[in-house]
Structure 1
Amino acid sequence: MKKKTQVIDQLALPLLIIFSFLLFACHNGIDQQHAIGSVATAEAIALNEPEPIQTIPLERRLIKEGTISFETNDLSETAKLIGQAIKKYNAYIASETENNYSESLSRTIVVRVNAKQFDAFIGDVAKGVNHFETKNIQVKDVTEEFVDIQARLKTKKELEQRYRTLLQLAAKVTEILEIEKQLAEVRAEIESVEGRLRYLANQSTYSTLSITYYKAAPKQIAFGQKFEQGLSNGWQNFVWFTVGLINIWPFLLLIVIAMFFARRWWRKRKTRQRMDASTN
């Protein structure tokens, strides 16, 4: 009897340790499954959660873009004035091109200027311009899109954090690979949303103005054009000469009559002189 009791006492401690280990493993597995189930529905919950009502007035996000073009008599002077306006309003040149056509020499400058100083900048550039051949200003309100993207970005980042938490709890290789796949997709979406947000922020902070100014080049006429123009001018001169003769025909008639009588008188005088000479 004592031997049986001793055997039971010897087996009790190992059995207790094994039972405790199994109980801990089972509890840990239940926690992991619960975490997996919670994070698996994280995206759906995050997307379905209603956004809190904004109580703070939103800053309006406006994208301003403009295009102007005009003729100038001095390209260098115009470039100098535009440069002074750029320096005054702390703007910068995004691009600059120059085109030398047969009829004109033109320059195009794309300027980025602070949105709050956009109108004042145009006013300075327009000084000395008598006539704009093109003037087009457009304003686009992207406030709603900006706020929506901010909310989406917040949701995506919360989802990313939940996936990272789940990744720490995962034990199986298949679970780790699946979570890492979902995490990479969420990270790519976050980068895309952040890129769009940065673009809207930049476009609404700095407005864009395209300035084109040109100077008409002196026309160079080729020989063929000169010959054709000479024929045309000669014909026009002949027409105008004929028209002039028609306008002064009464005076021409008087001149012809006067010449006729003068010639007749001159002949009679010559004849009389000859007769007098023969008589003498």
Structure 2
Amino acid sequence: MRYIFCLLFFVTLASCSPETKNEVASDHISAITVSGPLEPKPVGELVIPQKIIKQGYLKFETSDLEETYNQIQNAIKKNKGNIQSDSQQKNYNNISRNIIVRVPGQNFDAFLKAISKGVSYFDEKNISSENVTAQYIDLNSRLNTKRKLEARYLEILKKANKISEILEIEQKISTIREEIEAKEGQLKYLESRVSESTISIDFYKTIAQKESIKVSYGSKIWSAIKSGFYSLSEFLISIISIWPFIILFVVLVYFIRKRFKRKKA
């Protein structure tokens, strides 16, 4: 029986991948006789569709901010998306708005087409697609391997009699369970990025020249007043900080003038 077990063990090591060989060799419990390898061989390969992560960034000028926002809102509803963030900003010469939208991956192209209607040209337009199918397959394969390994250790646990053996096997199961949860989290994150695409939209309106001049000069005058006040404050503070040197200078001038007067007398 011992020779049969040794033969099965070495056959298992020879048939496993390098990573699995290390796991089986380190995790083998010598006190328990198990008929069969710790990790069953995969029955067949799963056919997994392409996993593509799509992202986009658009920046363009518009003549009507509210109308453009309504157009984007309609496109979001039509393509079953949602607004992740919405912010506005006003500068000297324009008013801008940034919206970050998430839409289902299959509606990405339709959404881009909808929000691009009426745009004569884009200041910036960046569209990217990242194929993560290989990464997804690798994670899925490693996850299945860990699950099968966990199942085999649970079977071994049922046959264990000694407390030391039970504790050792439970420790192995706990470690494998942590690895399974970590890989499940990575898969869920990858699937979420594939299932929902992110599009950042910057659109702005140029302020009329007269309004821009008023805002610009008003801001410059106020900035100049504040700058003068801060400069005066800094000057006074610097004088206060060197008061000993000022007193010494005054005393020296006094004695020098007094000495010259004596010479003249």
Q: Could you say which residue in structure 2 is the equivalent of 1:115?
A: 105
List gaps (5 residues or longer) in structure 1: 1-30, 227-280
- Contact 1:32/1:169 (CA < 8 Å) preserved in 2? no
- Tell me by how many angstroms 1:223 deviates: 6.6
Distance 1:171 1:93, change over 3 A: same
- Contact 1:98/1:108 (CA < 8 Å) preserved in 2? yes
- Contact 2:53/2:131 (CA < 8 Å) preserved in 1? yes
- Tell me by how many angstroms 1:169 deviates: 2.4
TM-score by length of 1: 0.60
| Whole-Å separation in 1 of the counterparts to 2:201 and 2:118 | 14
Q: Give CA deviations for 1:44-78 in whole Å, capped at 9, x if unaligned.
A: x56xx5x5563x75311111111111112221111
Q: Could you say which residue in structure 2 is the equivalent of 1:132?
A: 122
| Whole-Å separation in 2 of the counterparts to 1:98 and 1:59 | 39
The DSSP-based 3-state class of the residue aligned with 1:221 is helix
- Contact 2:31/2:165 (CA < 8 Å) preserved in 1? no
- Contact 2:96/2:203 (CA < 8 Å) preserved in 1? yes
Distance 1:177 1:97, change over 3 A: farther
Please tell me the root mean square deviation across aligned C-alpha atoms, in Å.
Answer: 2.6
The DSSP-based 3-state class of the residue aligned with 2:161 is coil
TM-score by length of 2: 0.63
| Whole-Å separation in 2 of the counterparts to 1:170 and 1:222 | 85
Superposition pairs for residues 1-280 of structure 1, below 5 Å?
33-35=32-34, 42=38, 45=39, 49=41, 51=42, 54=45, 57-217=47-207, 218-219=211-212, 220-222=215-217
| Whole-Å separation in 1 of the counterparts to 2:197 and 2:127 | 11
List gaps (5 residues or longer) in structure 2: 1-29, 222-265
- Tell me by how many angstroms 1:96 deviates: 2.2
The DSSP-based 3-state class of the residue aligned with 2:199 is strand
Distance 1:223 1:34, change over 3 A: closer
Calculate percent identity across the aligned residue pairs.
Answer: 37
| Whole-Å separation in 1 of the counterparts to 2:218 and 2:135 | 62
- Contact 1:98/1:106 (CA < 8 Å) preserved in 2? yes
Q: What count of residue pairs does the alignment treat as equivalent?
A: 187
- Tell me by how many angstroms 1:224 deviates: 9.9
- Contact 2:87/2:98 (CA < 8 Å) preserved in 1? yes
The DSSP-based 3-state class of the residue aligned with 2:216 is coil
- Tell me by how many angstroms 1:185 deviates: 1.1
- Contact 1:94/1:110 (CA < 8 Å) preserved in 2? yes
Q: Please, which moves more after superposition, 62-71 or 207-216?
A: 207-216
- Contact 2:92/2:216 (CA < 8 Å) preserved in 1? no
The DSSP-based 3-state class of the residue aligned with 1:157 is helix
